């Protein structure tokens, strides 16, 4: 069992930065790949970034590559998403998710994640 709580969302102007954090509880956190997803009104939830269980491999959607950075600290049970050069199209609710499997790489598919946070809103004004 893994419980996830996101924080760090807010309102920012285009070109600005935000850092999202996800605090996890549960003894299996450190063995699971983690992902950040987002969902804008009227759109499907989409993959943003993922990190493997060790933190050595990261993956990004093309739309955020070179602007966002995912990281994790297994000692503190946290996953973070540093978002730079934000654009209005980044506006969405952002969700932290834990993979359904241990020791694997993060998947782009929503269905491959068993545990989700409640989400944190990011709004980028133009």
Q: Would you say 85 and 15 are in contact if contact means Cβ atoms under 8 Å apart?
A: yes
Distance of CA 5 to the CA centre of its chain: 11
Which of 23, 31, 21 shows the shortest CA–CA distance to 3?
23
Confidence tier at 26 by pLDDT (50, 70, 90): confident
Q: Would you say 35 and 47 are in contact if contact means Cβ atoms under 8 Å apart?
A: yes
pLDDT of residue 31: 92
Distance of CA 64 to the CA centre of its chain: 12
Tell me which of 18-27, 53-62, 98-107 is least confident.
98-107
Q: Record the tokens describing residue 64, joined without a space.
A: 């955020």
pLDDT of residue 111: 94
Q: CB within 8 A of 76, min separation 6: which ones?
A: none
Confidence tier at 5 by pLDDT (50, 70, 90): very high
pLDDT of residue 40: 97
pLDDT of residue 27: 84
Q: How far is CA 7 from CA 56, 66, 86, 100, in A?
A: 24, 22, 17, 22
Q: CB within 8 A of 85, min separation 6: which ones?
A: 15, 17, 67
At 66-115, the pLDDT tens digits run: 999 999 999 999 999 999 999 999 999 999 999 988 888 999 999 999 99
């Amino acid at each position: 069992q893994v419980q996830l709580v996101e924080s760090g969302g807010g309102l920012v102007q285009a070109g600005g930065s935000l850092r999202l954090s996800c605090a996890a509880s549960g003894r299996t956190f450190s063995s699971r790949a983690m992902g950040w997803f987002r969902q804008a009104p009227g759109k499907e939830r989409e993959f943003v970034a993922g990190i493997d269980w060790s933190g050595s491999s990261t993956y990004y959607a093309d739309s955020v590559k070179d602007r966002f950075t995912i990281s994790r600290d297994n000692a503190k049970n946290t996953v973070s998403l540093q978002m730079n050069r934000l654009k209005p199209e980044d506006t969405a609710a952002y969700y932290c998710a834990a993979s359904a499997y241990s020791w694997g790489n993060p998947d782009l598919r929503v269905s491959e994640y068993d545990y989700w946070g409640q989400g944190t809103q990011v709004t980028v004004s133009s």
